[in-house]
C-alpha cells in the first residue's frame, strides 16, 4: 500500500474515532488518562528497551549530546509523562460547557456549546514524550490525534502510542484516537498536510524552518508558534530593585526557552541608576551584553550591538540592551522588532501601565512581572499544547479550551422566521 | 509597477492602517460609520452614474437578469448600505473588552483582552454593496480590510470605497483602512493569498469553486463558508402542526439561501400522520418532492429520490424527503449527508432534544425552530460577515466578536518565576 493510502487510512480512522470521542463522558476520559499513566509506568522496562534502539541509532549517527538527552526515556521522563496525564485528568472537561445563553425577542433561547475540534495533527521534532503529552491533552478535549514526531524517536514514540492505545481501548477509548505515523519517509508530512477532509488542525512544533514548511504546504489550518524575541521595558518610574529581579529572572532562569528575555529597553531617565547595577548582576551570572552606544557608556564589558541583535532570539546567556527616550520609544522598538510573543513593562506609573497593556501587540503583555510567566501552566490554563503567535483561533498559550470550538444551540417553541 | 508590487503595497498600507485602527476610540469609529452612511446617501447620483458603466458592460456581456439585479445600485440598495453602517455603529465595540480576569496563587492577575485581528482580505463575487457592509464591520472591529470583488462590479466597488475613504479620513480613520483591489486581472487573487505577513485572515464568499481555490492556494488562514445541506427531523413525539410550519418556513420562505431546508427526515411512527398533510402544503407552495420509497407511498406526486438527492443543496423549490426508523437513524443520515451548517429537530421529547443538541455536529443545531434562524442578525450577533462551516476560530455566523481575538494581560507586583 502506498504512503498516501496509509495516511489516508489513518485520517479516516481518526475521523471515525473523533465522532466517538466527542460523546465520551468526562469520567470515561479521565479514568482512561489515569489508566494510561499507570500503563506507561508499568511498561517502563519495555519502553526503555525500545528507546535503546533509538539511542543506539543516534549514537551511530553521531547526534549531539543535547539531542541524545532529549531522546532519552529516563525514569524521570517516563514518570513525567505519567504525571502529566494525571494532571490532565484532574483538569475540568471543556466539552459540553455552554458559554452563555441569551433570549431573543421572539422567545428563542440561543447559546454556544463547547465541542471538540475533531482531528488534530501534531508535527514535532525529537522528544518522544510529546506523544503522551499531546495525546493526553487532545483526548481530554475529545479530539483524535495523529502524531508525526522526529524520525530519531520513531521506535520510542510508537512504543508509547502502543501502550496508550492498548490501555485506552480497555478503558473505552475508540481505536484510532491516538495514532503515530509509522514511517521515517520525509514525504509523509507533505501527504498529511493534504488531508483537509480528515484533519481539522495542524500544530507544528519545532524550528522556524519546520513551521514555514508546514504553513506553505498545508491545506489544513495551522497554528503557528514562532520565535520569541521578548522585551522588558524599564520605565522612568520603575522600582529598580524589582526591575533587576525581573530582568535577571527573564534572562538567566532558563535562557533556552521562547519566553526568555532577549532585549532590555531602559528609559533614559533611569539609565544612570539602572544600567550599572543590572550590568554587574548580569556579568556575575555570565551574561554577555550587546548594547547601544548609551549602554556602552554605562556598562563596562558590554560589546556594541549590531542591527541584527535587535531581532535576535539568542536562547542563550546574551542580552541586547538599548536606552530609549520614552514609553513611545520603547513601544516603537517593540512594534519594529518584537515577535508578538511576550512583552513586559516595569513601571510605577498608572498611565504607562495602561498604555502598555492596551497598545502593545503580543500574545501576552505583562506589567511588573517576568516574561517567563507566558506559559499555560503559569497563567492558570493547566497544561498547554503550544504558544500561538498567530491570531486566528488562539493567540498565546493554548490549553484544553483552545483544542475545542463552539457551536450555536437554539431552543424554540415552534418559532419560524417572518 | 507590477501587480505583485501593487498588492504588496496595499498590504503594507493595510498593516500600517491596522495599527492606528486598533487604537481608535469607539466614538471615533461610530462617528465615522455614521458619516460614511451619510456620505453614501449624499453620493447617490454619482454612485448610480458609475454603476451605469458596470451595468452597460454587463448588458454587453449578456449577463443574466439575476446577475444584473445583484449588480444594480438601486435607491434601495444604497439606502440599505447606509442603514447597515448605522446599525454597525449602534452595536457595542468588541475591542478592549476584558473577557475575564483571575488571580494566580502568586498574586498575579491574569486576563484576556479583546483586540482586532489586524488585516482581513475579503474575496467575493458580484454584489458591490459587500464593499460597504464588510468594510463597516471590519472597521468597527478595528481591522483594515482589502476587498477583492467580482470584476463585473469593479467600478461600483471602487466608487463606494472612494466615498468611504474620503468621508472616513475626514472623521479620523487612517488611510488604507478600506481598500479595493483596482484591477480585473485574475492573477490578483493568487498574489493576494501569498501576503501572509500583511494579511491575517482571508474570507472568501461565493461558490464552492472560489472557496476551494482560495483554500488550496492560500498561505493565510481562510474562513470557509461551504454549502448548506440543512435537515429538519420530525421526531415521533413532534407537534405536527408546529412541524409543518417549520418545514414550510425552512423550504419556501427564501429557498435560495444557505440556511434553507433541503432534506426532511420523518420518524416512521408519524409518517402516516405527517407526510400526507405536509405533502399537500408543499405541493400548494409549488415544491417538488423527491422521496424515498416510503415517502412515495404517502405523498402523491412525489418523484423517487436518487442517491445524489441526499447530498443536494437545491437552493430552489425542491425538497428531499426520507422516512427513518429512529432518532439514531436521523442522526446517522445527518452525519453522512449534512454539511455542518444547520440542523433542526421537531420533538416533544426531552431526551431526544438533548441528544440532538449534544450529538449533531453543525454550526447551529435547533430544537423546534426553523433552520432559517441560523443567521447573525437572527441569533442576536448583529450584522454578520459570513457563516463559517469550518471549526477553527469561528463556527457558525461570524459577527463583530469573530473579527477579533484576545491577548493575555498580566498585572503583577514584581513576581518572578521560581
Rounded CA separation A122/A204 (Å) = 6
The model's confidence at residue B331, banded by pLDDT at 50, 70 and 90, is very high
**CB nearest A410 (choices: B367, B412, B416):** B367
Angle of CA points A255, A257, A259, to nearest 5°: 95
| Nearest C-alpha in B relative to A406 | B395
Neighbours of B207 (CB within 10 A): 11
**A26-73 pLDDT, tens digit each:** 999 999 999 999 999 999 999 999 999 999 999 999 999 888 998 999
Q: What is the CATH number of domain B230-377?
A: 3.40.309.10
| Nearest C-alpha in A relative to B108 | A369
B22 touches chain A (CB under 8 A): yes
CA-based nearest distance B39→chain A, Å: 31
Pairing relationship of beta strands A387-388 and A396-397 according to DSSP bridges: antiparallel
Query: Distances from the Cα of A172 to the Cαs of A21, A40, A131, A152, in angstroms?
Result: 10, 17, 20, 31
Burial of B213 (0-12, 13-18, 19+ CB in 10 A): middle
B216 touches chain A (CB under 8 A): yes
Among A269-273, A372-376, B63-67, the least confident range: B63-67
**A225-256 pLDDT, tens digit each:** 888 999 999 999 999 999 999 999 999 999 99
Specify the higher pLDDT residue, B5 or B66: B5
**B231-246 pLDDT, tens digit each:** 999 999 999 999 999 9
CA-based nearest distance A372→chain B, Å: 6
Q: What is the mean pLDDT of residues A208-227?
A: 89
**B338-386 pLDDT, tens digit each:** 999 999 999 999 999 999 999 999 999 999 999 999 999 999 999 899 9
Confidence (pLDDT) at B207 = 84
Q: What is the mean pLDDT of residues B264-284?
A: 98
Q: What is the mean pLDDT of residues A187-201?
A: 94
3-state secondary structure of B19: helix
Facing residues of B234 across strands? B266, B346
Which CATH class for the A230-374 domain?
alpha beta
Interface test with A, best of B111, B374, B417 (most A CBs within 10 A): B417
Q: What is the mean pLDDT of residues B310-320?
A: 97
Show the cell assigned to B78: 444604497
**Considering the domain B3-225, what is its CATH architecture?**
3-Layer(aba) Sandwich (3.40)
CA-based nearest distance B405→chain A, Å: 6
Q: What is the mean pLDDT of residues B278-301?
A: 97
Confidence (pLDDT) at A208 = 85
Confidence (pLDDT) at B326 = 98
B26 touches chain A (CB under 8 A): no
Confidence (pLDDT) at A126 = 72
The model's confidence at residue A207, banded by pLDDT at 50, 70 and 90, is confident
Q: What is the mean pLDDT of residues A213-220?
A: 90
Confidence (pLDDT) at A216 = 87
**B378-412 pLDDT, tens digit each:** 999 998 999 999 999 999 999 999 999 999 999 99
Chain B residues closer than 8 Å to A221 by CB: 221-222, 390, 392-393
Classify the C-alpha dihedral B67-B69-B74-B80 as positive or negative: negative
Q: Where exactly does CATH 3.40.605.10 map onto chain B?
A: 3-225
A362 touches chain B (CB under 8 A): yes
Q: How far is CA A301 from the centre of its chain?
A: 36
Confidence (pLDDT) at A125 = 83
| Nearest C-alpha in A relative to B260 | A417
**Considering the domain A3-93+114-224, what is its CATH architecture?**
3-Layer(aba) Sandwich (3.40)
Residues 111-140, chain A, touching B (beta carbon < 8 A): 113, 115, 117-118
- What are the residue ranges of helices labelled H in A144-207? 154-170, 187-192
Answer whether A353 sits within 8 Å of B411, measured CB to CB.
yes
Confidence (pLDDT) at B206 = 84
**CB nearest A253 (choices: B96, B201, B417):** B417
B20 touches chain A (CB under 8 A): no
Mean pLDDT of chain B: 95
Residue found under cell 521578548: A230
Q: Where exactly does CATH 3.40.309.10 map onto chain A?
A: 230-374
Complex prediction ipTM? 0.94
**CB nearest A416 (choices: B249, B353, B374):** B249
Check pLDDT > 80 for residue B277: yes
Chain B residues closer than 8 Å to A201 by CB: 392
Q: Where exactly does CATH 3.40.605.10 map onto chain A?
A: 3-93+114-224
Check pLDDT > 90 for residue B208: no
Amino acid at each position: 500500500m502506498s504512503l498516501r493510502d496509509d495516511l489516508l487510512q489513518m485520517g479516516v480512522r481518526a475521523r471515525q474515532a473523533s465522532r466517538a470521542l466527542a460523546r465520551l463522558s468526562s469520567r470515561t476520559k479521565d479514568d482512561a488518562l489515569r489508566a494510561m499513566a499507570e500503563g506507561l509506568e508499568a511498561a517502563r522496562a519495555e519502553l526503555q528497551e525500545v528507546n535503546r534502539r533509538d539511542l543506539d541509532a543516534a549514537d551511530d549517527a553521531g547526534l549531539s549530546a543535547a539531542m541524545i538527552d532529549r531522546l532519552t526515556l529516563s525514569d524521570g521522563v517516563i514518570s513525567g509523562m505519567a504525571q502529566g496525564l494525571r494532571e490532565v485528568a484532574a483538569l475540568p472537561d471543556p466539552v459540553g460547557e455552554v458559554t452563555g445563553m441569551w433570549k431573543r425577542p421572539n422567545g428563542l433561547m440561543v447559546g454556544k456549546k463547547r465541542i471538540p475540534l475533531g482531528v488534530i495533527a501534531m508535527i514535532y521534532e525529537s522528544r518522544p514524550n510529546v506523544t503522551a503529552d499531546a495525546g493526553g491533552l487532545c483526548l481530554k478535549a475529545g479530539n483524535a490525534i495523529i502524531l508525526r514526531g522526529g524520525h530519531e524517536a520513531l521506535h520510542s514514540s510508537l512504543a508509547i502510542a502502543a501502550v496508550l492505545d492498548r490501555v485506552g481501548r480497555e478503558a473505552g477509548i475508540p481505536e484510532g484516537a491516538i495514532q503515530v505515523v509509522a514511517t521515517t519517509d520525509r514525504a509523509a508530512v507533505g501527504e498529511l498536510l493534504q488531508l483537509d477532509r480528515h484533519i481539522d488542525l495542524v500544530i507544528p512544533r519545532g524550528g522556524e524552518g519546520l513551521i514555514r514548511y508546514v504553513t506553505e504546504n498545508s491545506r489544513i489550518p495551522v497554528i503557528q508558534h514562532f520565535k520569541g524575541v521578548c522585551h522588558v521595558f524599564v520605565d522612568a518610574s520603575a522600582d529598580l530593585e524589582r526591575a533587576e529581579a525581573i530582568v535577571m529572572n527573564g534572562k538567566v532562569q532558563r535562557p533556552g526557552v521562547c519566553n526568555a528575555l532577549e532585549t532590555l529597553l531602559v528609559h533614559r531617565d533611569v539609565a544612570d541608576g539602572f544600567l550599572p547595577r543590572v550590568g554587574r548582576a548580569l556579568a556575575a551570572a555570565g551574561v554577555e551584553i550587546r548594547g547601544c552606544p548609551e549602554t556602552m557608556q554605562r556598562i563596562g564589558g558590554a560589546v556594541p550591538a549590531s542591527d541584527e541583535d535587535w531581532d535576535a532570539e539568542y536562547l542563550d546567556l546574551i542580552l541586547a540592551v538599548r536606552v530609549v527616550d520614552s514609553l513611545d520609544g520603547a513601544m516603537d522598538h517593540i512594534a519594529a522588532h518584537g515577535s508578538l510573543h511576550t512583552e513586559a513593562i516595569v513601571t510605577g506609573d498608572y498611565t504607562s501601565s495602561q498604555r502598555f497593556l492596551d497598545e502593545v501587540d503580543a500574545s501576552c503583555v505583562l506589567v511588573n512581572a517576568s516574561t517567563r510567566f507566558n506559559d499555560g501552566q503559569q497563567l492558570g490554563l493547566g497544561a498547554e499544547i503550544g504558544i500561538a503567535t498567530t491570531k486566528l483561533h488562539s493567540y498565546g498559550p493554548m490549553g484544553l479550551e483552545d483544542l475545542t470550538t463552539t457551536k450555536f444551540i437554539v431552543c424554540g417553541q415552534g418559532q419560524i422566521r417572518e
